[in-house]
Amino acid sequence: MPDLFGLESGLSEQSSPQGLDPISSSLSTGDLRRRYDFGDRVSELSIPQDPFFRLVSKLAKKPTDDPEFKFTERRPSFHKRYAYAVGVFNNSGSEVETGALGDDLTASNFSTFKINMACDYLKDGNLSNVYGQSGNEIKVGQDNTQPQFFLEGQMVKIPLQTSVPGSLSAASAEDFAVMRVTKVTSYAGAGDFDSGIVGNANQCDLVQLEGVIVRDGGASIVSLGSPNAVAGDSTYSLSQEQLENSRCYVVGTSHGQGTGYPATWKDQPFSTGYGRTQIWKTALAMDNTTRATVLKYEPNEWARIWREKLIEHKWDIEQSMLFSTQGKVDTTTWTTQGAVDYILNYGNVFGLTHATKTQDDFLDDMSAFLDPRYNNANATLFFVDTATYNWLHKLSGYFTNNLEISSNFRADMALTGKKKVFGVDITTISTPYGDMNVARNIHLDSTKIKILAINMRYLAYRPLVGNGLNRDTAIYVGVQTLENSGVDRRVDLIQTEAGMEFQMPEAHGIWS
């Protein structure tokens, strides 16, 4: 039906969608009163049906002038100054995987202590491991992970244990030593990372620290061992929990009187990503005889269908923003990134079974997800399916109804109120890690996704706007009459071209 999309006058070639040719004649009075740019208004239709699109279009709209747009992420380095002990030198000068400080390695009995350090995050961009992403882990000591921040005069805290466990999942720091660095030597990875012991300078990116022990806890250094063990142990893909007990942190500096300027270092906190726009189209056509016929219940059939088509168009955008994946169908047809696909592949991933997940288990997940070094809870919205919406209210309701002594002594996890944000109902649940802002999203009901936690600070809705043309949601109107084509009908085309931009995967999470 190529004639179905003929346009009436008033749309120039620059403002007509591809494939729609303008017809030269004057606009009718009705069309002159019509607002064609429908961008912000389409999200106001049936607000509770599509909360994600509603909030994103109101809070995070950032136009782009290129259908393949790029963006920059910035990850600070002040909390990234940590490394792992991957080789310790014993008294005879041989390198071992684990070293016991003991009496003979203290500052008074051992003039110089040597230890090799390696990292598990990329120095270009400060890209780290993310909880639950075992397929995308950054291995300790792999290329581009060499520590850059160790300097002479620094104090380094080294975790200790009385006995070294067989795996890091059982690691627990029992004490610590403090080392003052007197020399830093870099060993850039020149060989195969996945062979040899990690302390071999030819096999991985690391630095060797020399210094004196100023505090000796009298226990053993927790060392990672070989890179093969690191690559084969699933706990190494976790972002915080197991590896935290083995991290050696910089804890300040110590310099002598009258000394000059110390050495310095420079980080590279920026990384880039890209996205694509997607074109959504919804068409409506009706002959003018039907439009002029008054019906029972809904007298104006055109008005009824037109409104439902707008809601259908918005529904499709919401579904794409949740479940689409970024890709290119052909040279002119692209798909944008969806939140579920993005977080499943790059974000924090947790498990949730309502029958077995306790409040304590859930708070453990929240602790890992809302670690302030990686995520800021203030801008996070939790979109949940209906079953989880009920489950969260049952958890918080039980504590409120059964354990609250008075208004001054509330439970740690309690329903504290409800509010509307741009018309979307938000339930506020108080937890030890801040308030959870929860919105029910019925689009998740047909999936295994229980909770979709999205930090609204790190995403954007990117409509294509440039050269005086706005490709955000607009209505293109065509009236074909007997005078110009022999066809007597009305045609509307609802069209949107926009994309989704997601940043900082460690700031988003998913429970399934």
Residue 460 has pLDDT above 60, yes or no: yes
Task: Please give the share of the chain, as a percent, with pLDDT higher than 90.
Answer: 35
Contact present, 33 and 512 (Cβ < 8 Å): no
Contact present, 118 and 144 (Cβ < 8 Å): no
Residue 1 has pLDDT above 50, yes or no: no
What is the pLDDT at residue 37? 58
Rounded CA separation 454/447 (Å) = 17
What is the pLDDT at residue 387? 94
What is the pLDDT at residue 167? 52
Over residues 443-464, the mean pLDDT reads 94
pLDDT band at 107 (very low <50, low <70, confident <90, very high): very low
- The residue with greater pLDDT, 485 or 44, is 44
Domain chopping of the chain, boundaries: 2-71+276-511, 82-253
Over residues 382-398, the mean pLDDT reads 85
Rounded CA separation 59/194 (Å) = 45
pLDDT band at 355 (very low <50, low <70, confident <90, very high): confident
Rounded CA separation 338/241 (Å) = 28
Rounded CA separation 50/57 (Å) = 11
Nearest-5° angle of CA 172, CA 177, CA 182? Answer: 135
Winning range, highest mean pLDDT, from 46-55, 153-162, 316-325: 316-325
User: What are residue 209's DSSP bridge partners?
Assistant: 115, 184
Rounded CA separation 417/437 (Å) = 10
What is the pLDDT at residue 39? 65
Label residue 140 exposed, middle or buried (CB < 10 Å: 0-12, 13-18, 19+): buried
Over residues 215-238, the mean pLDDT reads 51
pLDDT band at 247 (very low <50, low <70, confident <90, very high): confident
Looking up tokens 């809904």 gives: 298
Nearest-5° angle of CA 144, CA 148, CA 149? Answer: 145
Nearest-5° angle of CA 168, CA 172, CA 175? Answer: 130
- The residue with greater pLDDT, 239 or 452, is 452
Report CA-CA distances (Å) from 144 to 118, 125, 151, 196, 334. Answer: 11, 10, 19, 18, 33
User: What are residue 233's DSSP bridge partners?
Assistant: none
Region for 252 from its dihedrals, namely left if φ exceeds 0, alpha if ψ lies in -120 to 50, beta otherwise: left
Residue 2 has pLDDT above 80, yes or no: no
Which two three-digit tokens encode residue 471? Answer: 């490709």
Residue 67 has pLDDT above 50, yes or no: yes
pTM for the predicted model, two decimal places = 0.81
Rounded CA separation 491/305 (Å) = 12
- The residue with greater pLDDT, 236 or 54, is 54
What is the pLDDT at residue 479? 57
What is the pLDDT at residue 439? 94
Over residues 253-263, the mean pLDDT reads 92
Residue 164 has pLDDT above 60, yes or no: no
Residue 172 has pLDDT above 50, yes or no: yes
What is the pLDDT at residue 219? 65
Q: How many CB atoms lie within 10 A of CB 441?
A: 26
Residue 362 has pLDDT above 50, yes or no: yes
Looking up tokens 């109120």 gives: 417
